[in-house]
Amino acid sequence: MRCPYCGSVDTQVKDSRPAEDSSCIRRRRVCPTCGGRFTTFERVQLREIIVVKKSGRRAPFDRDKLTRSVEIALRKRPVEADRVEQMISGIVRQLESLGEVEVESQRIGELVIEGLRSLDPVAYVRFASVYRDFREVRDFSAVIDELESGGDGAAFAPDADDPEKA
């Protein structure tokens, strides 16, 4: 780990313990070159995941990108950061437990929608509107009606018969 003060790569771990939520490891480090002390948070990655985009392009899975998209949907919503982190960690664990190296971006989107549905209904509608590429007001109405009725989300699935929605 590179020292944030002097850039030295020869840092030493002085203490290592699980973080409060056990989703990562908290390490206290010291740099023998400049004497600087700093903390790092490291996550265990069970396997490398490659995301297959709609275009067919492949890219490494980026937890930070997932976090940013969820945070955008949750902007100005009263949801505790711990609950958001638990949801994201759950999604990553589900992806890792699939046992596949390549995961379609659609699968990740569905996991996010499921998580947001139970976390915050407004964030759920926001994310669904971008993810499902809503183009008309009735798309929003369908999601809201489905949410209020407690349905399974089929009400706003893209229409296979409509080429603009597919």
Ordered by start, the domain boundaries in the chain are 12-42, 50-131
Q: How many CA atoms lie within 13 A of 71 on its CB side?
A: 9
Compute the distance between CA of residue 164 and CA of residue 166 in angstroms, rounded to an integer.
6
What's the confidence (pLDDT) of residue 148? 83
Q: What is the pLDDT of residues 95-137, one digit of tens each?
A: 988 888 899 999 999 999 999 998 999 999 999 888 888 888 8
Q: What is the pLDDT of residues 81-96, one digit of tens each?
A: 889 988 998 998 899 8
